[in-house]
Chains A and B, each alone.
Chain A
Amino acid sequence: MNDVTAISTAGLTKHYPGVQALTDLTLDVPTGSIYGFLGPNGAGKSTTIKLLAGLTRPTSGGASVAGIPVAAGPAYRREVGYLAQEPRFYDWMTGRDTLRFIASLYPPERGANDGRVGEVLSKVGLADAADRRLKTYSGGMRQRLGIAQALIGRPSVLLLDEPVSSLDPIGRREVLDLMRDLKGETTVFYSTHILDDVERVSDHVAILDGGRLVRSAPTDELLDSFNQDRLRVVLGGADDSTAIALAALPGVVSVEPVERDGDTRTYHVRVAPTDATAVQVAVTRFGADSGLSVAENQLVRLGLEDVFLRLVNTKERAS
């Protein structure tokens, strides 16, 4: 743990009888990041968030936020703002009542006073609805109120469990925009299975599957690591022997014909990530030497969904 690490977990493990919900999670979440915690249903995302919120005890391992271990109890929870997947508030309260109540649970030095309540209500766009009973709030408003109550005590980290999964497109957009606006103010660690959202707002990502961490990295770095190992090559005048000839080029790992249009054929050429440029040069030379027209010879750009599926389905771990 150092001053650039907001959340640190070491060997965090939670096993229930017959279920290994989370096994040996070791993760460092950089301060100020919007950290997407990805995984299919049952991957252990909610378990991790609950462990980090101090709501359940680990079987082994530990976690800390801003250098304070979970075991510190209330002192730890002052540094954490938590929003559950389906947050339940008290419907007889107004939005402002809810924030005032939560603010009253923090010590005075956290500055969670009426001024802070107004400030947070404005931040989440609920200033106009602040004095309405919660039973009149839409799903998106409730979720924004959920983020507001998590922010009220000026936590070091926001833990959001599937913050947009139950929202309609408008509510989802509102909450994602709000999360993006929080960058620089606090660290946001959120779980989701909606890959598009992660690509839109997260600067870091971790992928969990079967209770185990598959990969964690800055989002761009993760995508780039998968964008260095596959070329899309389109050759005019190619025949059945062309794929074999391509596979024989230095640095090529494998060749997969993917499309054929007359004598124009498209191949996915798998290469070692460090050899991509050299292979591109070799393909160009091969085309010229073989009398083939090279219509395309570039790296395949994978989206996060492709990367996620490759990692989860094949447990492929890029170095």
Chain B
Amino acid sequence: MTASTIPTTKPLPRPGSRTDVMLGFRPLVRKDLAEWAHGPRAWVVLIVTATFMALSAANAWLNAWVVANVPTDPSVARAPMSMVPFDNVMTAVGSQIFVIVAIFASMSLLIVERENGALAWLASKPVARGGIWAAKAFAAISVLWVVAAIIPLVITAAVVTVLYGAPSIVPLIGVVVGAGATIALFVTVVLAASTVVSSQPAVAAIGIAVMILPTIVAGILPIQIEPYLPTSILGWAVGLGLGADVGVATPVAWAVSMAALVAFAVGRMERLEL
């Protein structure tokens, strides 16, 4: 052979070191962000989420308009819907549409590449498999936070301001932060599940189960467990924004869950047979 090998001048990173575990993270993030920008997925998420949240927020105003303008049976009692601006922001957020959208938008990210061989192609390069996973998670969380939470919430706040008056800013910031943390949790759950199962419906089912089951379990148990659930992070952030005494149990549970999920997923990635 002539001259194809250029000797490595830098010392090799220790296997298992932090540098090694995340090797290739930055260029992979750039690629994943570019992929989101080139496809329709982010636009679909934005349109669906913004429309749903804006209509949810407008529901009370629409309801009041209907009651005022359409003749109805006077014997039917109708509870008036709140016209308080922040209550209507929370109506939009409470639908959890952004969580459902985040689950469906991220369920194919890893599995499709596992199936079509693109993941094997990347894994054959001098990058860490943990870096591949982390780049996908980081890019998905960043993009979905913007298109499934920040922009729809800005649009929702604008609708609320027009229909009911301006909502309080600090709780609104709490909603934005809490929605981001919730999206991060569910994208991480979905991508971690994608390292275990290889079917998109199964991954989506796991994500939805994580969304629904804690609420059901909390309703059954005689003790208060919500503050200790990572899925309560949105309520915690909103409570914080409203000045309530919310403690630190929820963000600690969220952080521990995130760390555990990331560690699990990176470990699984290293063992995947591609």
Is B127 in the interface zone, CB < 8 Å from A? yes
Q: Which listed residue, A55, A90, A154, A186, touches B274 by the CB 8 Å rule?
A: A55
Whether B4 pairs with A155 at a CB distance below 8 angstroms is: yes
B251 — which chain A residues lie within 8 A by C-beta? none
A104 — which chain B residues lie within 8 A by C-beta? 27, 30
Whether B127 pairs with A156 at a CB distance below 8 angstroms is: no
Docked CA distance A290–B30 (Å)? 84
A90 — which chain B residues lie within 8 A by C-beta? 31, 35, 118
Q: Which listed residue, A53, A101, A154, A186, touches B124 by the CB 8 Å rule?
A: A53
Whether A154 pairs with B10 at a CB distance below 8 angstroms is: no
Interface hits, B236-274 → A, CB 8 Å: 271, 273-274
Whether A66 pairs with B5 at a CB distance below 8 angstroms is: yes
Closest A residue to B116 using CB positions: A88
Whether A57 pairs with B273 at a CB distance below 8 angstroms is: yes
Whether B126 pairs with A185 at a CB distance below 8 angstroms is: no
Mostly helix, strand, loop or mixed at chain A's interface?
loop
Interface hits, B102-147 → A, CB 8 Å: 116-118, 120-121, 123-128
Interface hits, A1-31 → B, CB 8 Å: 6, 31
What distance in Å separates the Cβ of B112 from its nearest Cβ neighbour in chain A?
Answer: 10
Is A127 in the interface zone, CB < 8 Å from B? no
Whether B123 pairs with A55 at a CB distance below 8 angstroms is: yes
B126 — which chain A residues lie within 8 A by C-beta? 74-75, 77-78, 105-107, 153
Is A173 in the interface zone, CB < 8 Å from B? no
B39 — which chain A residues lie within 8 A by C-beta? 92
B69 — which chain A residues lie within 8 A by C-beta? none
Docked CA distance A65–B53 (Å)? 56
A88 — which chain B residues lie within 8 A by C-beta? 116-118, 121
Q: Which listed residue, A50, A74, A155, touches B128 by the CB 8 Å rule?
A: A74
Could you count the A-B residue pairs with CB atoms below 8 Å apart for me: how many are there?
A: 105
Interface hits, A59-98 → B, CB 8 Å: 66, 71-75, 77-80, 82, 84, 86-90, 92
Closest A residue to B37 using CB positions: A92
Is A187 in the interface zone, CB < 8 Å from B? yes
Whether B27 pairs with A154 at a CB distance below 8 angstroms is: no
Q: Which listed residue, A6, A32, A72, touches B12 by the CB 8 Å rule?
A: A72
What distance in Å separates the Cβ of B20 from its nearest Cβ neighbour in chain A?
Answer: 7
Whether A31 pairs with B1 at a CB distance below 8 angstroms is: yes
Docked CA distance A4–B121 (Å)? 28
Is B71 in the interface zone, CB < 8 Å from A? no
Is A184 in the interface zone, CB < 8 Å from B? yes
Provide the B1-33 mask, 1 if CB < 8 A to any CB of A, else 0.
Answer: 110111011101101000010011001101100
Is B38 in the interface zone, CB < 8 Å from A? yes
A153 — which chain B residues lie within 8 A by C-beta? 125-126
Q: Given A66-B5, A72-B15, A185-B1, do A109 and B121 touch, yes or no (CB 8 Å)?
A: no
Is A222 in the interface zone, CB < 8 Å from B? no
B15 — which chain A residues lie within 8 A by C-beta? 71-73
Q: Given A72-B12, A104-B27, A105-B127, do A92 and B1 touch, yes or no (CB 8 Å)?
A: no
Whether A154 pairs with B1 at a CB distance below 8 angstroms is: no
Docked CA distance A166–B124 (Å)? 21
Interface hits, A136-189 → B, CB 8 Å: 153-156, 184-187
A66 — which chain B residues lie within 8 A by C-beta? 5
Q: Given A66-B5, A72-B12, A92-B38, do A56 and B125 touch, yes or no (CB 8 Å)?
A: no
What distance in Å separates the Cβ of B245 from its nearest Cβ neighbour in chain A?
Answer: 48
Docked CA distance A92–B127 (Å)? 22
Closest B residue to A107 using CB positions: B10
Is A303 in the interface zone, CB < 8 Å from B? no
What distance in Å separates the Cβ of B217 from its nearest Cβ neighbour in chain A?
Answer: 36
Is A42 in the interface zone, CB < 8 Å from B? no
Q: Which listed residue, B20, B27, B34, B274, touches A73 by the CB 8 Å rule?
A: B20
A39 — which chain B residues lie within 8 A by C-beta? none
Q: Given A31-B1, A82-B124, do A109 and B27 touch, yes or no (CB 8 Å)?
A: no
A156 — which chain B residues lie within 8 A by C-beta? 1, 4-5
With A105-B24, A156-B5 given, name 7 new contacts (CB 8 A): A50-B274, A71-B15, A92-B39, A105-B27, A111-B6, A155-B4, A185-B2
A-to-B contact residues, CB < 8 Å:
6, 31-32, 50, 53-57, 66, 71-75, 77-80, 82, 84, 86-90, 92, 101-102, 104-107, 109-111, 153-156, 184-187
Sample (8) of A-B pairs whose CB atoms are under 8 Å apart:
A55-B124, A56-B273, A73-B128, A74-B24, A79-B5, A105-B28, A184-B2, A185-B2
